[in-house]
Structure 1
Amino acid sequence: MLPFAPDRFSDRLFRPAAVAVAAVAALAAAPAAQAIEPFALADIRVEGLQRTDPGTVFAALPFRIGDTYTDEKAAAALRALFATGLFKDVRIEIEGRVAVVIVEERPVIEAVSFVGLKEFDKDTLVKSLKDAGIGEGLPFDKALVDRAEQEIKRQYLSRSLYGAEVVTTITPTERNRVNVTFTMTEGDAAKIKEIRIVGAKVFSESSLLGLMDLTTSGWLTWYTKNDRYSRAKLNADLETLRSHYLNRGYLEFAIDSAQVTISPDKQDIAITITVREGQPYTVTGVRLVGDYLGREEDFKRLVSIKPGEPYRAAVVTDTTKAFTDLFGTYGYAFARVDARPEIDRATGQVAVVLVAEPQRRVYVRRIDVAGNTRTRDEVIRREFRQLESSWYDGERIKLSRERAERLGYFKDVTVDTNEVAGTADQVDLAFNVTEKPTGSLMLGLTFSSADRLALTASIRQDNVFGSGNYLGLEVNTSRTAKSLVFSTVDPYFTVDGISRAIDLYYRTSRPYNSLGDQYQIATPGGAVRFGVPFSEYDTVFFGIGAEQTRIGANTGIPNSYFDYRYRYGANSTAFPLTIGWARDQRDSVLSPSAGKYQRVNFEWSFAGDVRYTRTNAQYQQFFQLWPKFSLMVNAEVGWGAGQGGRPYPVFKNFYGGGLGSVRVFEQNSLGVIDPTGAYVGGARKINLNTELYLPVPGTGNDKSLRLFAFADAGNVWREGERITTDSLRSSAGLGLSWVSPVGPLKMSWGVPLKKQPTDRIQRFQFQIGTAF
C-alpha cells in the first residue's frame, strides 16, 4: 500500500504551494524595480545559471530583442520565471538598453534517504515522493519537503502509530546540491485495549462486538492487525451495527456517539459507542406509487418485502435495486426509486411505499475503457454485451461488467454512466478496471515413505502480453508419477468466442511397487480442444488427441502391465475424441463460500491400438451457513470401459488417495493392488468430500485465514468389480486455509476412519502457491 497517493500529494498539497511561492516572490520583487520609461531592447543577458539551459529562461520571457520593454512585461517575466520552479530568486536590472536577468537557481536534490523506516516499503515511498516532486535530480523546494513530512506523519497515524515522529534534515553538498534525509521514529503501534457498547439491551454486548472487525488485542491480532484503530474501520463497524439492527426491525436505531480516547503514553486506545435501539417494527404492506410504465405487475413480482415480517433494510434495498435494474433494462438509465416508510409508533407497524420516477429513456453513445495498462482494449471490449449507439440496457451492462470480472485479469471493474452535454437522450459508459497480476507459480510438496520428497510445480500466465491468451507449464517430480505439460489457450480463436486449447505433454508413471524395481510407463502426446459457448454461463468443449504409451520391460513390472504388454505389445497408440461441459458459479476462486462448480468430460478412443471410453464428472457446491461459516460438498465420479473386445487399458486407470481425493491416504495409493504389490489404480473411481469452514479465533471477519474440518470417502475399482460401501475408504481431520502473502496455502492433518492393512497412510499434506 502506498504511504500516500502521489496524485493527491501533487494536486492538493504541492502545486498550490509552488504557485504561492512564485506569487509572493514576484510581489516582493515588484516594488524594488524602479519605474522606467518604455524603450526598445538592444540585448538580453542572463546571469547566474549553473545547470539550467539558457533557452529555458529565454522561452519564459515575454519580450525579445527589439521589443518594447515596460514595467508590465518585467513583472510578467518575474512571474513566469518563478513559475518554472527552477529558481530561488530572480531579478531584472537595466543597463542602458540591455535587460540583465539575474537568477539564483534552486539547489538540486542529490539523494533522498530514510532512517528508521520499517512500516512502509522504501521503494514505494521513494517512487511516491518522486511523483510529488521530491527525488534525485529534481529542484529542491522546502515547502514541498515540509508538506511531505506532514503527509507521512498522517499516514503513520492511519496505522495507529501515534507516537511516530518524522524529522527532515537538509544537507548541502558541492555544486549547489542537497541531500534530503527523512528520519523516522516509529515507536510501537497503539493497540485497542477496550471497546464498549452502551445502550444495547436487545442484543448482548458480546454478540455485537463479534460483528465488528475492530477488536482488542488477541493471540492472532499480530497478523490481522484488527487491534489497530482506524477511523475508516470504525465507520465500517458502525455501519455493520446499524445494518444489524435495521435488518431486524429496529427502523429508528441510531448511534448517538462514538468516542475514541488514547492513553497519555499513546499506546492504549479505548472506544465507547453509545446506541439508541428504539422499538421493532413489523411490515403491514407495500404500495407502489409513481410511474411504472404501465408494467406494475412486472415490478410487483420483484418485491421481496413480506407483510407480517420484521422490517429489514437489506430486503428493502434489494427491492429498490431490483426496480432500478428493471427500469434500466427498458432504457431508463436515470430512474429513481425511493422507499418511504410510513411509521405507526403506537402499534409498532410500518407500511413501505415505493415511489418511482423513471425520468427519460436514453441510448449509449460511446463506451470508454480506462485503467488497462497491460490488457488490450479488444480483450475487454469483446466481453461487452451492451453495444454503442444502441438503447441503454441495464441488464446487458451488468452482464458486460460480470464477464469482464470473470476474465480474472482485474481486481475491480466498475461502470460509470455519464450524461452527454447538450443532449437529453444520450449517455456515455466508462468501464474502469484495476489490473492485477495474472501469472501464478504453484508449488506442492509432499513427503511419504514411498515417494520421500515430491515436488509439484506449475507456472502459468493467464494474460500473455495483454492478449487474453493463456500459457502454462506444469512439472511433477514425484518418484511414481513424473510429468511435463505445456498448454496454451486462445479464448477467442474465432470472433464468435470459440476457444482453442493446445496441450503437449510427456508423462511417466511408476505405480507403487513393494519390490521397488525401476520400470516405467511413458506417454508422449498432444491434443487440441475447442470450446463453444452455448450460453453466458455454459461452455461445451470438444477435441481430438494423439498419444503413444510405452510400457517398459524391466524386471519387477506389475503383472497387469506385463500381461497387457504381452498381449497387445509394448507400444500402444490412441486417438481419443473428447467432449465436455463446464459451469463455474462460485463467488470466489481462492476463498469460495457460496455457489457451485460443475463439469462433465467424456473421452472416446475410436482409432489406433487402444479402444476405450472414459467419463469423468464433478459436482461441487458451497453453502453459506452463517456469516462466518460455510460448507463445501464435492462429488466426483470416474468410469472407464474397454471397447472392441479389449479390456480397459491399465495405463488409463483412475487413481485415488491424497490431495484432491481421499486425504490421509498417500497420493495414488488407493485402488487395485497388483500381485507384485504395486498400486495400479482402476477403471472406476468415486470421491466424496465435505469441508466445514470456520473462522480462526481472534481473526474477526477475516476470510483469508480459515480453519476447516473435513471428511472424505472414496476408492478406486477395477473394470467389472462390484462397487460396495464396504470397499470405501474414509478419513477425517482438520486443516488450515490461508491466502498468505506468498499465495494460497492449504494444509491438513487427519486420521483414517476406514482402511485396510495394505493401505499407505500419509497424515499431513499441504500445498502452497504464489502470484507474480
Structure 2
Amino acid sequence: MKKLLPFLAFWLLSSVALAEPFIIQDIRVEGLQRISAGTVFNYLPVRVGDELTENDARGIIRSLFKSKYFSDVQLERQDGILVIKVAERPAISSIEFVGNKDIDSNELLRSLRQIGFAEGQVFEQAMLERVELELQRQYFSRGKYGVQIDSQVTPLTRNRVGVRITMTEGAVATIGSINIVGNSAFTQKELLDQIESTTGGWFSRITRDNQYSRQRLSADLETLRSFYLDRGFVDFSIESTQVTISDDKKQIFITINITEGERYRINEVRLAGHLIVPEEELFGLMTIRQDAVFSLREITRSTENLTNRLGNDGYAFANVNAVPEVDQENREVNLTFFVDPGRRAYVRRINITGNSKTRDEVVRQEMRQQESAWISTQQVERSRARVARLGYFEDVNVETVPVAGTSDQVDLDVSVSEMASGSLSAGIGYSQAEGIIFNANVSQRNFLGSGKHIRFGFNNSRVNTQYSFGYTNPYATVDGISQGFNAFYRKTDAFEANLARFTTDTFGGDVNFGLPISETNRIFVGFGYENTDVSLPSQASGNRIQRYQDFIDKEGSRFHSWLVTLGWSSDTRDSAIMPTRGLEQTFTAELATPIGSLEYYKLRYNTSWFYPLSDTYTFSLRGELGYGDAYGSTDEFPFFQNFYAGGIRSVRGFRANTLGRRVFDDRGNDLPIGGNMLVTGSAEVIFPVPFVGSNLRSVRLSAFTDVGNVYDVKESFEADLLRYSAGLSAIWISPFGAMAFSVAKPLRKQSGDETEVFQFTLGTAF
C-alpha cells in the first residue's frame, strides 16, 4: 500500500494540472542526474505534436514508475510545453556482507548481480527484501534455521546509498530424532540403515550426516519406498511426514508415517505381444521368476534385459512394458511383459564429430557397429567403449537418430571431445626400493592424429639408469594387427635393490606384433636382442658370492641373447587405472634361443579380478606366477634373470626383493638372491576415502592380505615357506604421478626376513 500512495498522489496532481487536453509543442524533463533524457523519452507513450489527454498523463506516470528509475514523477503544463519533473531513485554505491561464514561474499555478489542487485544499479527496497528472503532460504537449506538477517541502507552524496547486510548465522540444526511409525515387517534399525539422514555419530562433525536437508529427506523417502517394493510390499505407502523444529531452532524432529501392507509373491510370469525372439530365450533373460517375492528392481532389470536383447537384432526402438495384475485376496501378482519390437532399423550412416585432430579412420576402425547393417545396441555400446578406451578423447557419446522420412533407418552420431594425447614430463620421485628417481618422458599416443604411439624415456635411480625409445602402430593392418619396436639401455646395481652384489649393463631392442582374436583377447609375438655385461665385486673386496662367480667362470660375463616372446592377454576391466569390475590376464613366454650365448626360458602369468560388492566397495584378487629354467647347453638358470618378491608391488610388509633363499658372501653377509620360481597373490577390499564419498576417483583405499615367496632352482615349491601379511594401502593418482602407500604387518615370517611396516613409492608406476 505504501508503494501505491506516491503514485496515486501524483496521478491526482496531474489530473488537476492537466485538466484540459492540449497539443504538446515540446517536452522538457527536469530533475535528471544520472539518467539521460533519451532514456526518459523511450518510456514516454506520447511525442511532440500529440494531443495530451488525462488518460495520456496517467500513462506517462505509469510508464515512468514502471521503469523503476524514479521515486517521484510530476507533470506540469507551461503553455504548450509538457514539463516532466522526476526524482531519481538512488544508486547502489556499495554492498557489504558481515558475518557470513558459510557463504562466500564473492559468490553472493555474483548471484545478486544476476538478479540486478549490484553496485551501480538502481536501489529498490523491494529488491532488498527479496535478497533477504533468498539469503534466509539458502541458510535454511544448510540447516541454520536460527539465522538472523539485518539490512542497513545508508544514504550517501550524489543520490547514492550503501547497503550493509549483517548475518548472524547461528548453529546448524541437527536431527534430534527420526521416528518411523507403522512398520512391523522390518525393525526401526533396519529401515534407518537404508536412509542417509541420521541422528549422527562420532564422525558427524565431518560427514554432516546429522544435518537436516529437505532434498535428502525426499531422497530418503524414495529409498524407503524402493526398499519395500523390492521386498514384495506392493501396497506400501508413505502416509505423511512431519518435520518439527525445537524452540531454540537447533534440533529437527522427523516422523515418517507409513503403511506397509502385505507381502506379495509372483504367481505367474507371461509374455505377450510380437515375440520376434524365441519365447524360451526371453524367459531366460528374466531375473524375476514365478513364486518369487515381488521385486520392482528385478522387474526393471528384466525389462531392460528384454529391451537390450531386441535391440541386438536391430529393433532399436523396442518397447517392453511390465503390467502387474494384483490379486489382493491371495496376495499374488500376475506379471505380463508386453513386447512391442517396432520396426527393424538399419544404420544408414555413422557420423563422427568433434575430432579436430584425430582422423576419422582412427575412430571408425574401433567401431563394431557397421553402416548398412542392422543396428545392434550391444555393438553400439561396444563401439563406444572401444573408442573411449583409445585414450584420445575426454568424452565419447553415441546417439541414435531416426532418419527423416523413413521408419527403418537411423544414423549414429558419434561425438567426441578431444583431449591432449601427448605429454612431456620431467620430474623427481622417491621409492624406498630405488631411492631418488629422476625421470623424463616424452609421449605422443596419437601422433599427428594417426593413432600411432611414440615414446622416449629416461630414468635414473640408485638401482637403475635407463634410456628407452618405442613406437607402436595399433592398426598396422586393417584387421587390427599392431606392430611396434623398442630400443633401450639399462644399467642395474643389484646391491642397491637389497640383493647380493653384482651390476649389469644391458642394451637391446625388439620388434613386436599383436593379433586380436576377439574383442577382449589378444595374442602377441616379439623378437628381440639383448647384450648383457655382468660385473662382480673384486675378490679383494670380500663381497663376492661364490655361486655367481662359478656361473661367470663357466658361462662368461658378456652375453648375447636372441629372444622370442609369445604372449596372450585378456582384459574385460571397466577401467585401466581405477577398475571396479572385470578380469585382466596376461601370459608371457620368453625364450632365449640357441643362437645366443645362453639358453633359457621364462614363463609369467599375471591376473587381476575385480568384483563390485556395492556402488562404493570392490573386492579384488591378484595373482602372479613365474618360472624360469635353463635348457640345452646352459646348465643353470642365469642368476641375473631371477624373480624377486617383497615390497609394495609384491608382498607388502617385507622389504623389497628380500624374500626367498639367502646366501653368504665372502665376508659372511647374509644376502637374498631371488629365485627361478615366483608365487604371489593378494586379496583386497577397495573402498573410497571416508567422509569424502566416491566422487573422489583419484584416491582409493584398501584393506589387503598378501601372500608369496620366490624359490631357488635348488628348491621345490613348499606352501609352508609362503609369507603372509595384512594391512591397509592407499593409491593416489596425483598431478605429480602415481603414489602408493601401505601399512602392513607380516603374519608369517621366518628368521632372517627383513620387514618394513610402512612402505611407499612416489612418482613411479605401481
Query: Which range, TM-score by smaller chain?
Result: 0.7 to 0.9
One-letter amino acid of the structure 1 residue matched with residue 658 of structure 2: S
Match of 1:364 in 2: 347
Match of 2:664 in 1: 675
Deviation, structure 1 residue 335: 1.6
Match of 1:596 in 2: 583
One-letter amino acid of the structure 1 residue matched with residue 707 of structure 2: A
Separation of aligned partners in 2, 1:391 and 1:118: 59
Match of 1:762 in 2: 756
Change in Cα spacing, 1:411 to 1:116, as seen in structure 2 (3 Å) is farther
DSSP 3-state at the match of 2:664: coil
Q: CA RMSD in A?
A: 6.4
Deviation, structure 1 residue 667: 0.8
Moved more, 315-324 or 178-187: 178-187
Separation of aligned partners in 2, 1:729 and 1:235: 51
Change in Cα spacing, 1:185 to 1:615, as seen in structure 2 (3 Å) is farther
Separation of aligned partners in 1, 2:323 and 2:225: 18
1:632 and 2:656 are equivalent in the alignment? no
Change in Cα spacing, 1:654 to 1:138, as seen in structure 2 (3 Å) is farther
Match of 1:726 in 2: 720
One-letter amino acid of the structure 2 residue matched with residue 622 of structure 1: F
Alignment of 1:81-120 (within 5 A): none
DSSP 3-state at the match of 2:655: coil
Separation of aligned partners in 1, 2:565 and 2:254: 62
Match of 1:96 in 2: none
1:417 and 2:417 are equivalent in the alignment? no
Deviation, structure 1 residue 529: 3.4
Separation of aligned partners in 1, 2:155 and 2:203: 47
Match of 1:641 in 2: 629
Separation of aligned partners in 2, 1:249 and 1:412: 40
Unaligned runs of 5+ in 2: 1-22, 24-31, 35-90
Separation of aligned partners in 2, 1:377 and 1:123: 44
Separation of aligned partners in 1, 2:154 and 2:537: 76
One-letter amino acid of the structure 2 residue matched with residue 533 of structure 1: P
1:332 and 2:325 are equivalent in the alignment? no
Change in Cα spacing, 1:332 to 1:574, as seen in structure 2 (3 Å) is same
Match of 2:569 in 1: 582
Alignment of 1:354-503 (within 5 A): 354-368=337-351, 376=358, 378=360, 380-407=363-390, 414-431=397-414, 447=432, 467=449, 479-481=462-464, 483=466, 490-500=473-483, 502-503=485-486
CA contact (8 A) 1:616 1:637 kept: yes
Change in Cα spacing, 1:726 to 1:116, as seen in structure 2 (3 Å) is same
One-letter amino acid of the structure 2 residue matched with residue 340 of structure 1: V
Deviation, structure 1 residue 575: 3.5
Deviation, structure 1 residue 225: 4.8
Moved more, 320-329 or 212-221: 212-221
Change in Cα spacing, 1:239 to 1:456, as seen in structure 2 (3 Å) is farther
Match of 2:608 in 1: 620
Separation of aligned partners in 2, 1:172 and 1:495: 78
- TM-score relative to the length of structure 2: 0.72
Match of 2:325 in 1: 342
Change in Cα spacing, 1:514 to 1:367, as seen in structure 2 (3 Å) is closer
CA contact (8 A) 1:221 1:698 kept: no
CA contact (8 A) 1:126 1:135 kept: yes
- TM-score relative to the length of structure 1: 0.72
Separation of aligned partners in 2, 1:140 and 1:499: 69
Q: Deviations over 1:324-348 (max 9, x none)?
A: 1122123222221111111112222
Deviation, structure 1 residue 156: 6.9
Deviation, structure 1 residue 420: 3.9
Match of 1:291 in 2: 274
1:655 paired residue among 644, 655, 665? 644
1:310 and 2:297 are equivalent in the alignment? no
CA contact (8 A) 1:480 1:509 kept: yes
One-letter amino acid of the structure 2 residue matched with residue 657 of structure 1: G
Q: Deviations over 1:541-577 (max 9, x none)?
A: 3323333323234445542444444444443333323
CA contact (8 A) 1:224 1:702 kept: no
Change in Cα spacing, 1:311 to 1:458, as seen in structure 2 (3 Å) is farther
1:280 paired residue among 242, 245, 263? 263
Q: Give the paired residue count.
A: 732
CA contact (8 A) 1:369 1:431 kept: yes
One-letter amino acid of the structure 2 residue matched with residue 578 of structure 1: T
CA contact (8 A) 2:269 2:336 kept: yes
Match of 1:715 in 2: 709
CA contact (8 A) 1:210 1:700 kept: no
- The percent of aligned pairs where both chains have the same amino acid is 37
Q: Deviations over 1:9-47 (max 9, x none)?
A: xxxxxxxxxxxxxxxxxxxxxxxxxxxx9xxxxxxxxxx
One-letter amino acid of the structure 1 residue matched with residue 752 of structure 2: T
CA contact (8 A) 1:683 1:719 kept: yes
User: Which structure ranks higher in relative contact order (CA pairs < 8 Å, sequence separation ≥ 6)?
Assistant: 1
Separation of aligned partners in 2, 1:260 and 1:377: 59
Structure label with greater radius of gyration = 2
Match of 2:304 in 1: 321
Change in Cα spacing, 1:133 to 1:617, as seen in structure 2 (3 Å) is farther
2:224 paired residue among 226, 241, 246? 241
Deviation, structure 1 residue 147: 9.9
CA contact (8 A) 1:213 1:700 kept: no
